[in-house]
A and B are shown apart, each in its own frame.
Chain A
Amino acid sequence: MERPLTQHIKKDGHPLTLKEYEAIGGYQALKKALKMTPAQIQAVVKESNLRGRGGAGFFTGLKWSFVPLDAPKPKYLVANADEMEPGTFKDRILLETTPHQLLEGMIISAFAIQADIAYVFLRWAYKRAASSIRSAIAEAYEAGYLGKNILKSGFDLEMHLHTGVGRYMCGEETALLNSLEGKRATPRAKPPFPQVSGLFGRPTIVNNVETLCNIPHIVEKGSDWFKSLSLTGDSGTKIYGVSGKVKKPGAWELPMGTTMRELIEVHAGGMQDGLKFRGALPGGASTDFLVEEHLDVKMDYANVAAAGSRLGTGTLVILDDQTCPVGFVKNLEHFFAQESCGFCTPCREGLPWVEKILNTIEEGKGQMKDLGLLHMHTKYLGPGNTFCALAPGAMEPLQSALKYFKEDFEQHIREHRCAYSHALATLEI
Protein backbone atom coordinates (compact mmCIF):
# COMPACT_ATOMS: atom_id res chain seq x y z
CA MET A 1 0.00 0.00 0.00
CA GLU A 2 1.44 3.35 -1.03
CA ARG A 3 1.49 6.25 1.41
CA PRO A 4 2.99 9.11 -0.61
CA LEU A 5 2.13 11.84 1.90
CA THR A 6 3.27 10.21 5.12
CA GLN A 7 5.74 7.44 4.30
CA HIS A 8 8.78 9.58 5.05
CA ILE A 9 7.62 10.94 8.38
CA LYS A 10 10.34 10.42 10.97
CA LYS A 11 9.59 8.22 13.96
CA ASP A 12 10.51 10.97 16.40
CA GLY A 13 8.09 13.34 14.66
CA HIS A 14 10.77 15.95 13.93
CA PRO A 15 10.39 17.80 10.63
CA LEU A 16 12.36 16.61 7.62
CA THR A 17 15.09 19.15 6.90
CA LEU A 18 15.69 20.32 3.35
CA LYS A 19 18.64 17.94 2.99
CA GLU A 20 16.59 15.00 4.24
CA TYR A 21 13.69 15.92 1.99
CA GLU A 22 15.97 16.19 -1.06
CA ALA A 23 17.51 12.82 -0.21
CA ILE A 24 14.11 11.13 -0.56
CA GLY A 25 13.51 12.79 -3.94
CA GLY A 26 12.11 16.07 -2.67
CA TYR A 27 11.87 19.00 -5.10
CA GLN A 28 12.30 16.69 -8.12
CA ALA A 29 8.62 17.27 -8.93
CA LEU A 30 9.24 21.02 -8.83
CA LYS A 31 12.14 20.64 -11.28
CA LYS A 32 9.85 18.66 -13.58
CA ALA A 33 7.01 21.15 -13.19
CA LEU A 34 9.16 24.15 -14.06
CA LYS A 35 9.89 22.52 -17.42
CA MET A 36 6.17 22.15 -18.08
CA THR A 37 3.74 24.93 -18.94
CA PRO A 38 1.22 26.10 -16.32
CA ALA A 39 -1.55 24.74 -18.56
CA GLN A 40 0.12 21.32 -18.67
CA ILE A 41 0.34 21.16 -14.87
CA GLN A 42 -3.29 22.22 -14.55
CA ALA A 43 -4.24 19.50 -17.03
CA VAL A 44 -2.48 16.78 -15.01
CA VAL A 45 -4.12 17.93 -11.77
CA LYS A 46 -7.53 18.15 -13.45
CA GLU A 47 -7.06 14.69 -14.95
CA SER A 48 -6.09 13.30 -11.52
CA ASN A 49 -9.54 14.22 -10.11
CA LEU A 50 -7.89 15.53 -6.93
CA ARG A 51 -10.58 17.00 -4.68
CA GLY A 52 -10.05 19.53 -1.89
CA ARG A 53 -9.18 17.85 1.41
CA GLY A 54 -10.33 20.73 3.59
CA GLY A 55 -13.92 19.56 3.76
CA ALA A 56 -15.83 20.83 0.75
CA GLY A 57 -14.24 18.44 -1.76
CA PHE A 58 -14.19 20.83 -4.71
CA PHE A 59 -12.11 19.65 -7.68
CA THR A 60 -8.70 21.29 -7.37
CA GLY A 61 -7.96 21.44 -11.09
CA LEU A 62 -11.31 23.05 -11.77
CA LYS A 63 -10.75 25.60 -9.00
CA TRP A 64 -7.39 26.58 -10.49
CA SER A 65 -8.83 26.88 -13.99
CA PHE A 66 -10.89 29.92 -12.97
CA VAL A 67 -7.76 32.02 -12.40
CA PRO A 68 -7.16 34.18 -15.44
CA LEU A 69 -3.61 33.19 -16.42
CA ASP A 70 -3.01 36.41 -18.32
CA ALA A 71 -4.12 38.70 -15.46
CA PRO A 72 -1.38 41.10 -14.36
CA LYS A 73 0.47 40.41 -11.11
CA PRO A 74 0.19 40.23 -8.18
CA LYS A 75 -1.67 36.94 -7.89
CA TYR A 76 -1.86 34.95 -4.69
CA LEU A 77 -1.78 31.38 -3.49
CA VAL A 78 -2.81 30.69 0.10
CA ALA A 79 -2.36 27.43 1.98
CA ASN A 80 -5.27 27.07 4.36
CA ALA A 81 -3.58 25.69 7.47
CA ASP A 82 -6.20 27.05 9.86
CA GLU A 83 -7.28 23.56 10.86
CA MET A 84 -10.01 24.23 13.40
CA GLU A 85 -12.83 21.83 12.56
CA PRO A 86 -13.49 20.04 15.85
CA GLY A 87 -12.28 16.46 15.65
CA THR A 88 -9.76 17.23 12.91
CA PHE A 89 -6.02 16.83 13.38
CA LYS A 90 -4.67 15.65 10.03
CA ASP A 91 -3.04 18.79 8.62
CA ARG A 92 -1.15 19.26 11.89
CA ILE A 93 0.73 16.05 11.13
CA LEU A 94 1.80 17.17 7.66
CA LEU A 95 2.73 20.66 8.85
CA GLU A 96 4.84 19.44 11.74
CA THR A 97 6.65 16.62 9.99
CA THR A 98 7.02 17.32 6.27
CA PRO A 99 6.98 21.09 5.78
CA HIS A 100 8.93 20.95 2.52
CA GLN A 101 6.31 18.68 0.98
CA LEU A 102 3.79 21.47 1.56
CA LEU A 103 6.20 24.11 0.26
CA GLU A 104 6.96 22.11 -2.89
CA GLY A 105 3.23 21.64 -3.47
CA MET A 106 2.70 25.35 -3.00
CA ILE A 107 5.51 26.38 -5.34
CA ILE A 108 4.23 24.07 -8.09
CA SER A 109 0.64 25.23 -7.55
CA ALA A 110 1.71 28.88 -7.60
CA PHE A 111 3.54 28.25 -10.88
CA ALA A 112 0.47 26.50 -12.30
CA ILE A 113 -1.71 29.55 -11.65
CA GLN A 114 1.19 31.98 -12.16
CA ALA A 115 0.93 33.42 -8.66
CA ASP A 116 3.87 35.42 -7.39
CA ILE A 117 3.04 35.68 -3.69
CA ALA A 118 2.12 32.82 -1.36
CA TYR A 119 0.92 32.74 2.23
CA VAL A 120 0.66 29.91 4.70
CA PHE A 121 -2.30 30.82 6.91
CA LEU A 122 -1.57 28.84 10.06
CA ARG A 123 -3.67 28.64 13.18
CA TRP A 124 -2.16 30.11 16.32
CA ALA A 125 -2.26 26.91 18.36
CA TYR A 126 0.07 25.01 16.00
CA LYS A 127 3.35 26.12 17.57
CA ARG A 128 5.49 23.21 16.38
CA ALA A 129 4.07 23.60 12.90
CA ALA A 130 4.94 27.31 12.94
CA SER A 131 8.53 26.56 13.75
CA SER A 132 8.81 23.79 11.16
CA ILE A 133 7.24 25.92 8.39
CA ARG A 134 9.31 28.97 9.33
CA SER A 135 12.57 27.01 9.10
CA ALA A 136 11.49 25.34 5.89
CA ILE A 137 10.69 28.65 4.22
CA ALA A 138 14.12 30.00 5.23
CA GLU A 139 15.83 26.86 3.89
CA ALA A 140 13.87 27.03 0.64
CA TYR A 141 14.89 30.67 0.06
CA GLU A 142 18.49 29.77 0.81
CA ALA A 143 18.44 26.90 -1.71
CA GLY A 144 16.79 28.93 -4.44
CA TYR A 145 13.42 27.16 -4.34
CA LEU A 146 11.81 30.45 -3.34
CA GLY A 147 12.59 34.02 -4.30
CA LYS A 148 13.61 35.40 -7.66
CA ASN A 149 14.20 33.24 -10.71
CA ILE A 150 13.54 29.91 -9.01
CA LEU A 151 16.00 27.24 -10.28
CA LYS A 152 16.81 29.60 -13.15
CA SER A 153 13.32 29.15 -14.59
CA GLY A 154 12.47 32.83 -14.60
CA PHE A 155 9.63 32.14 -12.14
CA ASP A 156 9.51 34.30 -8.99
CA LEU A 157 7.66 33.46 -5.80
CA GLU A 158 7.77 35.03 -2.37
CA MET A 159 6.27 33.19 0.60
CA HIS A 160 5.14 34.34 4.02
CA LEU A 161 3.91 32.57 7.12
CA HIS A 162 0.87 34.19 8.73
CA THR A 163 -0.34 32.90 12.07
CA GLY A 164 -3.99 33.56 12.86
CA VAL A 165 -5.47 34.75 16.12
CA GLY A 166 -8.17 32.17 16.55
CA ARG A 167 -11.51 32.10 14.82
CA TYR A 168 -13.13 29.05 13.18
CA MET A 169 -14.46 31.35 10.46
CA CYS A 170 -10.90 31.78 9.14
CA GLY A 171 -11.24 28.32 7.61
CA GLU A 172 -13.85 29.68 5.18
CA GLU A 173 -11.79 30.88 2.27
CA THR A 174 -13.25 34.35 1.80
CA ALA A 175 -13.24 34.99 5.56
CA LEU A 176 -9.63 33.84 5.61
CA LEU A 177 -8.82 36.43 2.95
CA ASN A 178 -10.50 39.17 5.00
CA SER A 179 -8.42 38.10 7.98
CA LEU A 180 -5.22 38.21 5.90
CA GLU A 181 -6.21 41.76 4.94
CA GLY A 182 -6.34 42.65 8.64
CA LYS A 183 -10.11 42.66 8.87
CA ARG A 184 -12.71 40.70 10.83
CA ALA A 185 -13.01 37.18 9.47
CA THR A 186 -16.48 37.51 7.98
CA PRO A 187 -17.32 35.80 4.69
CA ARG A 188 -17.54 37.71 1.42
CA ALA A 189 -20.33 37.61 -1.13
CA LYS A 190 -19.64 35.38 -4.13
CA PRO A 191 -19.36 36.27 -6.97
CA PRO A 192 -16.81 37.62 -7.47
CA PHE A 193 -15.03 34.40 -6.61
CA PRO A 194 -11.54 34.63 -5.07
CA GLN A 195 -10.05 33.09 -8.21
CA VAL A 196 -10.93 36.35 -9.97
CA SER A 197 -10.99 38.84 -7.10
CA GLY A 198 -9.54 37.52 -3.87
CA LEU A 199 -6.80 38.81 -1.59
CA PHE A 200 -6.50 42.60 -1.97
CA GLY A 201 -8.85 42.28 -4.95
CA ARG A 202 -6.39 40.13 -6.91
CA PRO A 203 -6.83 36.59 -8.31
CA THR A 204 -6.29 34.15 -5.43
CA ILE A 205 -6.41 30.42 -4.87
CA VAL A 206 -6.93 29.02 -1.38
CA ASN A 207 -6.13 25.32 -1.01
CA ASN A 208 -6.03 23.02 2.00
CA VAL A 209 -2.68 21.73 3.29
CA GLU A 210 -3.36 18.05 2.48
CA THR A 211 -4.56 19.04 -1.00
CA LEU A 212 -1.34 20.96 -1.70
CA CYS A 213 0.83 18.15 -0.33
CA ASN A 214 -0.62 15.84 -3.00
CA ILE A 215 0.47 18.10 -5.86
CA PRO A 216 4.19 17.15 -6.08
CA HIS A 217 3.28 13.44 -6.18
CA ILE A 218 0.68 13.93 -8.91
CA VAL A 219 3.09 15.96 -11.02
CA GLU A 220 5.86 13.44 -10.54
CA LYS A 221 3.95 10.20 -10.98
CA GLY A 222 0.98 11.24 -13.08
CA SER A 223 -2.78 11.25 -12.86
CA ASP A 224 -3.26 7.53 -13.62
CA TRP A 225 -0.99 6.60 -10.72
CA PHE A 226 -2.94 8.96 -8.44
CA LYS A 227 -6.25 7.41 -9.47
CA SER A 228 -4.84 3.91 -8.92
CA LEU A 229 -4.15 4.71 -5.23
CA SER A 230 -7.86 4.78 -4.51
CA LEU A 231 -10.31 1.93 -3.96
CA THR A 232 -13.16 3.92 -5.49
CA GLY A 233 -13.97 6.64 -8.03
CA ASP A 234 -12.46 9.44 -5.92
CA SER A 235 -8.69 9.50 -6.43
CA GLY A 236 -5.69 9.32 -4.16
CA THR A 237 -5.06 8.47 -0.56
CA LYS A 238 -6.71 10.17 2.39
CA ILE A 239 -5.40 10.91 5.83
CA TYR A 240 -8.17 9.50 7.97
CA GLY A 241 -8.36 9.92 11.72
CA VAL A 242 -10.37 8.47 14.58
CA SER A 243 -10.95 10.09 17.97
CA GLY A 244 -13.27 9.22 20.84
CA LYS A 245 -13.40 6.11 22.99
CA VAL A 246 -11.58 3.66 20.76
CA LYS A 247 -8.54 1.65 21.85
CA LYS A 248 -5.99 3.42 19.65
CA PRO A 249 -7.08 6.84 18.44
CA GLY A 250 -4.89 8.20 15.66
CA ALA A 251 -4.52 9.18 12.02
CA TRP A 252 -3.44 7.04 9.07
CA GLU A 253 -2.91 7.62 5.37
CA LEU A 254 -4.96 4.97 3.57
CA PRO A 255 -6.44 4.45 0.14
CA MET A 256 -9.41 6.72 -0.53
CA GLY A 257 -12.53 4.61 -0.01
CA THR A 258 -11.37 2.68 3.06
CA THR A 259 -14.47 1.69 5.02
CA MET A 260 -15.47 3.20 8.30
CA ARG A 261 -15.45 -0.31 9.79
CA GLU A 262 -11.81 -0.84 8.82
CA LEU A 263 -10.84 2.54 10.26
CA ILE A 264 -12.49 1.84 13.59
CA GLU A 265 -11.92 -1.89 13.99
CA VAL A 266 -8.49 -2.36 12.43
CA HIS A 267 -6.62 0.93 12.61
CA ALA A 268 -8.18 2.36 15.77
CA GLY A 269 -8.16 -1.06 17.45
CA GLY A 270 -11.92 -1.19 18.01
CA MET A 271 -14.02 0.35 20.73
CA GLN A 272 -12.70 0.51 24.30
CA ASP A 273 -13.66 -2.53 26.35
CA GLY A 274 -17.25 -2.49 27.50
CA LEU A 275 -18.31 0.19 25.02
CA LYS A 276 -20.35 -0.19 21.85
CA PHE A 277 -20.25 1.92 18.70
CA ARG A 278 -23.30 4.13 18.45
CA GLY A 279 -22.46 6.55 15.66
CA ALA A 280 -19.75 8.77 14.20
CA LEU A 281 -19.27 12.12 12.59
CA PRO A 282 -17.35 11.04 9.48
CA GLY A 283 -15.51 14.27 8.79
CA GLY A 284 -15.52 16.72 11.65
CA ALA A 285 -18.16 18.59 13.64
CA SER A 286 -20.12 19.85 10.65
CA THR A 287 -21.04 16.49 9.13
CA ASP A 288 -24.14 14.32 9.59
CA PHE A 289 -23.90 11.30 11.90
CA LEU A 290 -23.42 7.91 10.36
CA VAL A 291 -24.56 4.91 12.42
CA GLU A 292 -24.06 1.16 12.61
CA GLU A 293 -25.82 0.46 9.31
CA HIS A 294 -23.19 2.64 7.61
CA LEU A 295 -20.08 0.91 8.97
CA ASP A 296 -19.30 -0.58 5.57
CA VAL A 297 -19.65 2.70 3.71
CA LYS A 298 -16.54 3.44 1.71
CA MET A 299 -15.15 6.70 2.99
CA ASP A 300 -14.94 8.81 -0.15
CA TYR A 301 -16.85 11.87 -1.31
CA ALA A 302 -19.51 10.06 -3.35
CA ASN A 303 -20.22 7.13 -1.02
CA VAL A 304 -20.41 9.15 2.19
CA ALA A 305 -22.73 11.59 0.39
CA ALA A 306 -24.91 8.68 -0.73
CA ALA A 307 -25.11 7.57 2.91
CA GLY A 308 -26.50 11.00 3.82
CA SER A 309 -23.40 12.73 5.16
CA ARG A 310 -20.17 14.28 3.92
CA LEU A 311 -16.59 13.03 3.88
CA GLY A 312 -15.60 16.45 5.23
CA THR A 313 -12.10 16.26 6.63
CA GLY A 314 -12.18 12.45 6.90
CA THR A 315 -11.47 12.47 10.62
CA LEU A 316 -14.10 10.49 12.53
CA VAL A 317 -15.39 11.43 15.96
CA ILE A 318 -16.94 8.39 17.59
CA LEU A 319 -20.06 8.38 19.75
CA ASP A 320 -20.17 5.35 22.05
CA ASP A 321 -23.18 3.86 23.83
CA GLN A 322 -22.28 5.34 27.21
CA THR A 323 -21.95 8.91 25.98
CA CYS A 324 -25.11 10.99 25.75
CA PRO A 325 -26.01 11.94 22.16
CA VAL A 326 -27.86 15.03 23.39
CA GLY A 327 -24.81 16.19 25.33
CA PHE A 328 -22.64 15.38 22.32
CA VAL A 329 -24.72 17.56 19.99
CA LYS A 330 -25.00 20.26 22.65
CA ASN A 331 -21.21 20.46 22.75
CA LEU A 332 -21.10 20.82 18.95
CA GLU A 333 -23.77 23.52 18.87
CA HIS A 334 -22.04 25.43 21.66
CA PHE A 335 -18.96 25.51 19.46
CA PHE A 336 -20.87 26.72 16.40
CA ALA A 337 -22.85 29.32 18.35
CA GLN A 338 -19.64 30.67 19.82
CA GLU A 339 -17.78 30.70 16.51
CA SER A 340 -20.57 32.25 14.44
CA CYS A 341 -19.07 35.49 13.14
CA GLY A 342 -22.32 37.33 13.78
CA PHE A 343 -22.45 38.74 10.27
CA CYS A 344 -25.83 37.28 9.27
CA THR A 345 -28.84 37.14 11.56
CA PRO A 346 -30.08 33.54 11.16
CA CYS A 347 -26.71 32.16 12.22
CA ARG A 348 -26.00 34.71 14.96
CA GLU A 349 -29.44 34.37 16.58
CA GLY A 350 -30.37 30.85 15.57
CA LEU A 351 -27.35 28.93 16.83
CA PRO A 352 -27.47 30.25 20.43
CA TRP A 353 -31.20 29.42 20.43
CA VAL A 354 -30.45 25.87 19.32
CA GLU A 355 -27.80 25.59 22.04
CA LYS A 356 -30.22 26.84 24.70
CA ILE A 357 -32.89 24.33 23.68
CA LEU A 358 -30.39 21.47 23.77
CA ASN A 359 -29.18 22.66 27.16
CA THR A 360 -32.73 22.65 28.46
CA ILE A 361 -33.33 19.12 27.19
CA GLU A 362 -30.03 17.85 28.56
CA GLU A 363 -30.89 19.30 31.97
CA GLY A 364 -34.20 17.46 31.96
CA LYS A 365 -36.30 20.59 31.59
CA GLY A 366 -37.26 20.12 27.95
CA GLN A 367 -40.72 19.69 26.47
CA MET A 368 -41.76 17.61 23.48
CA LYS A 369 -42.47 20.77 21.47
CA ASP A 370 -38.77 21.66 21.77
CA LEU A 371 -38.03 18.87 19.32
CA GLY A 372 -40.24 20.63 16.79
CA LEU A 373 -38.28 23.84 17.35
CA LEU A 374 -35.01 22.02 16.77
CA HIS A 375 -36.39 20.50 13.55
CA MET A 376 -37.50 23.93 12.43
CA HIS A 377 -34.01 25.32 12.97
CA THR A 378 -32.41 22.57 10.91
CA LYS A 379 -34.46 23.90 7.98
CA TYR A 380 -34.26 27.63 8.71
CA LEU A 381 -30.50 27.53 9.24
CA GLY A 382 -30.01 25.15 6.34
CA PRO A 383 -28.43 25.79 2.95
CA GLY A 384 -29.60 28.94 1.22
CA ASN A 385 -30.83 30.74 4.34
CA THR A 386 -27.52 31.93 5.72
CA PHE A 387 -24.62 33.87 4.26
CA CYS A 388 -22.04 31.08 4.45
CA ALA A 389 -21.83 27.37 5.22
CA LEU A 390 -21.22 27.64 8.97
CA ALA A 391 -24.84 27.36 10.16
CA PRO A 392 -25.87 24.73 7.57
CA GLY A 393 -22.80 22.76 8.70
CA ALA A 394 -23.90 23.16 12.32
CA MET A 395 -27.32 21.75 11.42
CA GLU A 396 -25.91 18.56 9.88
CA PRO A 397 -25.06 16.74 13.14
CA LEU A 398 -28.27 18.08 14.73
CA GLN A 399 -30.66 16.92 12.02
CA SER A 400 -29.08 13.46 11.89
CA ALA A 401 -29.02 13.16 15.70
CA LEU A 402 -32.74 13.96 15.80
CA LYS A 403 -33.22 11.18 13.27
CA TYR A 404 -30.95 8.46 14.66
CA PHE A 405 -31.09 9.22 18.39
CA LYS A 406 -34.71 10.36 18.61
CA GLU A 407 -35.40 7.97 21.48
CA ASP A 408 -32.64 9.61 23.56
CA PHE A 409 -34.05 13.09 23.07
CA GLU A 410 -37.54 11.87 24.01
CA GLN A 411 -36.28 9.97 27.04
CA HIS A 412 -34.58 13.12 28.39
CA ILE A 413 -37.88 14.96 28.09
CA ARG A 414 -40.05 12.13 29.43
CA GLU A 415 -37.86 11.33 32.41
CA HIS A 416 -36.75 14.92 33.08
CA ARG A 417 -33.11 13.85 33.27
CA CYS A 418 -30.08 12.67 31.36
CA ALA A 419 -29.81 8.95 31.99
CA TYR A 420 -26.13 8.77 31.04
CA SER A 421 -23.62 8.76 33.81
CA HIS A 422 -20.79 10.78 32.36
CA ALA A 423 -18.90 11.15 35.58
CA LEU A 424 -18.67 7.38 35.95
CA ALA A 425 -17.97 6.79 32.28
CA THR A 426 -15.03 9.15 32.24
CA LEU A 427 -13.53 7.87 35.46
CA GLU A 428 -13.25 4.41 33.99
CA ILE A 429 -10.74 5.46 31.34
Chain B
Amino acid sequence: MCSQILTDKISKNMLSPKEKAEIDKAISEVPVRKAAGIEALKIVQEHRRWISDESLQDVADYMKMSPAELDSVATFYNLLFRKPVGRHVILICDSISCWVMGYENILEELKSRLNIGLGQTTDDECFTLLPNCCLGTCDCAPAFMIDNDLYRNVKPEQLDEILLKYK
Protein backbone atom coordinates (compact mmCIF):
# COMPACT_ATOMS: atom_id res chain seq x y z
CA MET B 1 0.00 0.00 0.00
CA CYS B 2 2.79 2.25 1.05
CA SER B 3 4.66 1.84 -2.20
CA GLN B 4 1.51 2.48 -4.23
CA ILE B 5 0.85 5.81 -2.55
CA LEU B 6 4.40 7.05 -2.89
CA THR B 7 4.75 5.95 -6.50
CA ASP B 8 1.55 7.74 -7.49
CA LYS B 9 2.68 10.91 -5.79
CA ILE B 10 5.87 11.35 -7.76
CA SER B 11 5.59 9.32 -10.93
CA LYS B 12 4.66 12.29 -13.08
CA ASN B 13 7.35 14.54 -11.67
CA MET B 14 10.45 15.40 -13.62
CA LEU B 15 13.43 16.79 -11.72
CA SER B 16 12.43 20.02 -10.04
CA PRO B 17 14.35 23.25 -10.71
CA LYS B 18 15.70 23.06 -7.15
CA GLU B 19 16.92 19.50 -7.64
CA LYS B 20 18.51 20.46 -10.94
CA ALA B 21 20.27 23.43 -9.36
CA GLU B 22 21.68 21.26 -6.59
CA ILE B 23 22.80 18.60 -9.05
CA ASP B 24 24.43 21.27 -11.24
CA LYS B 25 26.44 22.44 -8.25
CA ALA B 26 27.60 18.87 -7.58
CA ILE B 27 28.58 18.47 -11.22
CA SER B 28 30.60 21.70 -11.06
CA GLU B 29 32.76 20.24 -8.28
CA VAL B 30 33.98 17.21 -10.23
CA PRO B 31 35.97 16.93 -13.45
CA VAL B 32 33.72 14.26 -15.00
CA ARG B 33 29.92 14.61 -15.09
CA LYS B 34 29.32 10.97 -14.14
CA ALA B 35 31.30 11.40 -10.95
CA ALA B 36 28.39 13.41 -9.55
CA GLY B 37 25.98 10.52 -10.10
CA ILE B 38 25.95 9.41 -6.47
CA GLU B 39 25.54 13.00 -5.33
CA ALA B 40 22.62 13.44 -7.75
CA LEU B 41 20.90 10.35 -6.36
CA LYS B 42 21.43 11.64 -2.83
CA ILE B 43 19.87 14.97 -3.77
CA VAL B 44 16.81 13.34 -5.32
CA GLN B 45 16.44 11.10 -2.29
CA GLU B 46 16.58 14.07 0.04
CA HIS B 47 13.69 15.67 -1.86
CA ARG B 48 11.61 12.53 -2.46
CA ARG B 49 12.62 10.22 0.42
CA TRP B 50 13.55 7.42 -1.98
CA ILE B 51 14.58 6.77 -5.57
CA SER B 52 11.79 5.33 -7.69
CA ASP B 53 12.38 3.83 -11.14
CA GLU B 54 11.03 7.04 -12.63
CA SER B 55 13.35 9.22 -10.56
CA LEU B 56 16.27 7.02 -11.51
CA GLN B 57 15.41 7.40 -15.18
CA ASP B 58 15.20 11.20 -14.79
CA VAL B 59 18.54 11.41 -12.99
CA ALA B 60 20.19 9.07 -15.50
CA ASP B 61 18.98 11.25 -18.38
CA TYR B 62 20.25 14.35 -16.65
CA MET B 63 23.62 12.76 -15.88
CA LYS B 64 23.89 11.45 -19.45
CA MET B 65 24.16 7.90 -18.13
CA SER B 66 22.16 4.81 -18.94
CA PRO B 67 19.61 3.90 -16.24
CA ALA B 68 21.33 0.50 -15.90
CA GLU B 69 24.69 2.11 -15.20
CA LEU B 70 23.22 4.50 -12.64
CA ASP B 71 21.17 1.74 -11.03
CA SER B 72 24.31 -0.37 -10.62
CA VAL B 73 25.52 2.43 -8.36
CA ALA B 74 22.16 3.10 -6.70
CA THR B 75 21.68 -0.53 -5.67
CA PHE B 76 25.24 -0.87 -4.38
CA TYR B 77 25.11 1.63 -1.54
CA ASN B 78 23.28 0.91 1.69
CA LEU B 79 21.84 4.38 2.17
CA LEU B 80 20.40 4.98 -1.28
CA PHE B 81 16.85 3.72 -1.01
CA ARG B 82 15.42 2.07 -4.10
CA LYS B 83 12.27 1.09 -2.23
CA PRO B 84 9.81 3.44 -0.50
CA VAL B 85 10.63 4.45 3.04
CA GLY B 86 8.63 6.24 5.69
CA ARG B 87 8.97 9.87 6.73
CA HIS B 88 11.59 8.85 9.29
CA VAL B 89 14.21 6.17 8.87
CA ILE B 90 15.52 4.38 11.94
CA LEU B 91 18.99 2.94 11.44
CA ILE B 92 19.84 0.60 14.27
CA CYS B 93 23.47 -0.38 14.70
CA ASP B 94 23.86 -4.17 14.65
CA SER B 95 27.66 -4.34 14.77
CA ILE B 96 29.85 -5.91 17.38
CA SER B 97 29.99 -3.41 20.27
CA CYS B 98 26.25 -2.78 20.13
CA TRP B 99 25.67 -6.54 19.95
CA VAL B 100 27.81 -7.10 23.06
CA MET B 101 25.89 -4.34 24.85
CA GLY B 102 22.53 -5.89 24.04
CA TYR B 103 21.23 -4.01 21.00
CA GLU B 104 18.93 -6.97 20.37
CA ASN B 105 16.75 -5.88 23.30
CA ILE B 106 16.35 -2.45 21.73
CA LEU B 107 15.59 -3.97 18.36
CA GLU B 108 12.90 -6.24 19.79
CA GLU B 109 11.32 -3.30 21.64
CA LEU B 110 11.33 -1.18 18.49
CA LYS B 111 9.80 -3.97 16.43
CA SER B 112 6.99 -4.53 18.90
CA ARG B 113 6.29 -0.83 19.44
CA LEU B 114 6.19 -0.11 15.71
CA ASN B 115 4.65 -3.47 14.83
CA ILE B 116 7.09 -3.96 11.95
CA GLY B 117 10.17 -6.03 11.22
CA LEU B 118 13.54 -4.95 9.86
CA GLY B 119 13.22 -3.52 6.36
CA GLN B 120 9.56 -2.64 6.85
CA THR B 121 7.59 0.59 7.08
CA THR B 122 4.74 1.32 9.50
CA ASP B 123 1.24 1.51 8.03
CA ASP B 124 1.05 5.25 8.67
CA GLU B 125 4.35 5.67 6.74
CA CYS B 126 5.92 7.32 9.76
CA PHE B 127 8.87 4.97 10.34
CA THR B 128 11.05 2.58 8.39
CA LEU B 129 13.30 0.31 10.46
CA LEU B 130 16.64 -0.70 8.95
CA PRO B 131 19.76 -2.42 10.27
CA ASN B 132 23.00 -0.47 9.93
CA CYS B 133 26.72 -1.16 10.24
CA CYS B 134 28.70 0.22 13.16
CA LEU B 135 27.71 3.86 13.74
CA GLY B 136 31.13 4.67 15.21
CA THR B 137 29.94 5.45 18.70
CA CYS B 138 30.93 2.14 20.28
CA ASP B 139 31.73 3.59 23.71
CA CYS B 140 28.06 4.62 23.96
CA ALA B 141 26.45 1.40 22.73
CA PRO B 142 23.74 0.51 21.95
CA ALA B 143 23.00 3.23 19.44
CA PHE B 144 20.66 4.10 16.60
CA MET B 145 19.93 7.03 14.35
CA ILE B 146 16.58 8.47 13.37
CA ASP B 147 17.11 10.59 10.26
CA ASN B 148 20.02 12.86 11.24
CA ASP B 149 19.75 12.38 14.99
CA LEU B 150 22.01 9.99 16.87
CA TYR B 151 20.78 8.27 20.03
CA ARG B 152 23.38 6.63 22.25
CA ASN B 153 23.39 4.47 25.39
CA VAL B 154 19.76 3.78 24.56
CA LYS B 155 17.63 2.03 27.15
CA PRO B 156 14.32 0.36 26.29
CA GLU B 157 12.39 2.66 28.65
CA GLN B 158 13.50 5.72 26.63
CA LEU B 159 12.03 4.49 23.36
CA ASP B 160 8.50 5.86 23.77
CA GLU B 161 9.77 9.36 24.41
CA ILE B 162 12.22 9.21 21.51
CA LEU B 163 9.67 7.90 19.01
CA LEU B 164 7.09 10.47 20.08
CA LYS B 165 9.33 13.28 18.79
CA TYR B 166 8.83 12.05 15.24
CA LYS B 167 5.13 11.29 15.27
Binding site for B on A (CB under 8 A): 74, 83-89, 91-92, 123-128, 160, 162-168, 179-185, 200, 241-245, 249-251, 281, 285, 315, 317-320, 323, 327-328, 331-332, 334-335, 338-339, 341, 422-423, 425-427, 429
Other-chain contact of A165, B36, B79, B150 (Cβ < 8 Å): B79
Q: A328–B96 contact, CB under 8 A?
A: yes
B95: nearest residue on chain A (CB-CB)? A86
Other-chain contact of A241, B30, B133, B139 (Cβ < 8 Å): B139
Instruction: Judge if B78 is at the interface, Cβ distance under 8 Å.
Output: yes
Q: A88–B136 contact, CB under 8 A?
A: yes
CA distance A129 to B141 in the complex (A): 19
Instruction: Judge if B163 is at the interface, Cβ distance under 8 Å.
Output: no
Q: Please give the number of chain B residues whose Cβ is less than 8 angstroms from any Cβ of chain A in the complex.
A: 44
Instruction: Judge if B58 is at the interface, Cβ distance under 8 Å.
Output: no
B69: nearest residue on chain A (CB-CB)? A183
Contact with A along B31-53 (1 / 0, CB 8 A): 11011111101100000000000
Q: A243–B136 contact, CB under 8 A?
A: no
Other-chain contact of A331, B72, B96, B139, B140 (Cβ < 8 Å): B96
Instruction: Judge if B29 is at the interface, Cβ distance under 8 Å.
Output: yes
Binding site for A on B (CB under 8 A): 29-32, 34-39, 41-42, 72-73, 76-80, 91, 94-97, 99-102, 104-105, 132-141, 145, 148-150
Provided the pairs A166-B77, A185-B76, A243-B141 are in contact, do residues A331 and B132 lie with their beta carbons within 8 angstroms?
Answer: no
Q: How far does the Cβ of A193 sit from chain B's closest Cβ, in whole Å?
A: 21
Q: A160–B29 contact, CB under 8 A?
A: yes
With A87-B96, A422-B102 given, can you name 12 additional A-B contacts, CB distance below 8 Å?
A87-B134, A88-B134, A126-B136, A128-B150, A165-B41, A179-B38, A181-B32, A182-B39, A184-B76, A200-B31, A327-B99, A335-B95
B72: nearest residue on chain A (CB-CB)? A184
Q: A251–B139 contact, CB under 8 A?
A: yes
Q: How far does the Cβ of B158 sit from chain A's closest Cβ, in whole Å?
A: 14
